[in-house]
Amino acid sequence: MPDRTMPPSTSRSAPAAFAGGVVIGALGGLIGLGGAEFRLPLLIGVFRFAALEAVILNKAMSLVVVASALPFRARVVPFTAVAAHWSIIVNLLAGSLLGAWFGAGWATQVASQTLYRVIAVLLVSIDVVLMLGHDTTTSAALLTGAAQAAAGVIAGFAIGIVAALLGVAGGELLIPTLVLLFGADIKLAGSLSLAVSLPTMIVGFARYSRDRSFAVLAQNRSFVLVMAAGSITGSLVGGRLLGLAPVASAFSHPDSFRGQSLAAQLIAHLIGLGQRMLIFRSDVRRQTGVGLTQMLFVGTGHTLAKR
């Protein structure tokens, strides 16, 4: 199997790890994401972890953020409201748990070069989903009955695979699924996504623990603990900001996707754009042959052009 290791970085300082955790944790607590889609490029491009190691670290950080964000959000979305929609959670978990196991297993077997390319494509695809998502409005469920249940399992399976391959919580895909397929309220969808993400991530984490690259957690224990502390702090801040974020205001479409201000969404997109560019300024670009020479806002999406 190809060597997945990368020379250790001298920039893995505690202040940098904590600051990154705070910012990404705050975004996670505010918009119902684990923040991993922003953290992964940081781990690869700045802290210089190899692809699989970065995914495993990303998964660990996301697990911390999701576990802490759910109770922090309870002030706005109580556990009773989440529990009342247990059937939706079970429906999505029926597919996402299998998808997470399958995706993590594939990631540990595939060549590092291929994994870098898959990460690049998936990150840009998620950017497109995030940019288009804020115009998606809450409405009645698209499907009902058996058709809805089947679609939920299929969607959950696909989301589980993506979550495992990127080490993400999957909220960027779960929230629009909950809003469109099940007609869930915006803020409720954020908490439901966390409830689905937590067991899904645990399954993926368990599968990754069988690979030798899992040792990266023990080898970088201090880094992980500091970034985890920053993530918890950030998720607390984000959870409290959730109560201040208007569902409908002059800066957001009424009942729009995520129900957060357009300013918060744009900040998230800009951070994501900057971090993705870091990947391709690093040695990863030369190793994989993947060139992201253009990553521009075009309307509400991004344009990806290969060399």
pLDDT of amino acid 209? 92
Q: Which amino acid is at 296?
A: L
Q: Does residue 284 surpass a pLDDT of 50?
A: no
Q: Could you tell me the pLDDT band of residue 177, with boundaries at 50, 70 and 90?
A: very high
Q: What is the pLDDT of residue 282?
A: 47
Q: How many CA atoms lie within 13 A of 303 on its CB side?
A: 8
Six-digit token string for 88: 């939706």
The rounded distance, in Å, linking the Cα atoms of 99 and 110 is 16
- pLDDT for res 109: 92
Examine the pLDDT at 158 and tell me if it is beyond 90: yes
Q: In the structure encoding, which two tokens stand for residue 240, read together?
A: 């409290």
Is residue 19 within 8 A of residue 230, CB to CB? The reply is yes
φ and ψ of 65, to 5 deg: -65, -45
User: Does position 135 have pLDDT exceeding 90, yes or no?
Assistant: no
Instruction: Answer whether 62's CB lies under 8 Å from 37's CB.
Output: no
List the chain domain ranges.
14-305
Q: Residues 50-79: what's their mean pLDDT?
A: 83
Give the tokens for residue 80.
């009773």
**What is the pLDDT, as a whole number, of residue 199?**
94
Longest Cα–Cα distance of the chain, Å, equals 55
- 200-243 pLDDT per residue, tens: 999 999 999 999 889 999 899 889 889 888 888 887 787 677 66
Question: For the whole model, what pTM was predicted?
Answer: 0.76
Q: At what angle do helices 145-166 and 36-45 cross, to 10 degrees?
A: 20
E strand or H helix that includes residue 191? helix 186-208
Name the least confident of 14-18, 148-152, 298-302. 298-302
- Cβ–Cβ under 8 Å, residues 239 and 32: no
> Do residues 62 and 43 lie in contact, with contact meaning Cβ atoms separated by under 8 Å?
no
Check residue 95 and give its pLDDT. 97
161: pLDDT confidence band, cut at 50, 70 and 90?
very high
* pLDDT at position 14: 87
> Per-residue pLDDT tens for 295-304?
333 333 333 3
Asked if the model's pLDDT at residue 138 lies above 70, the reply is: no
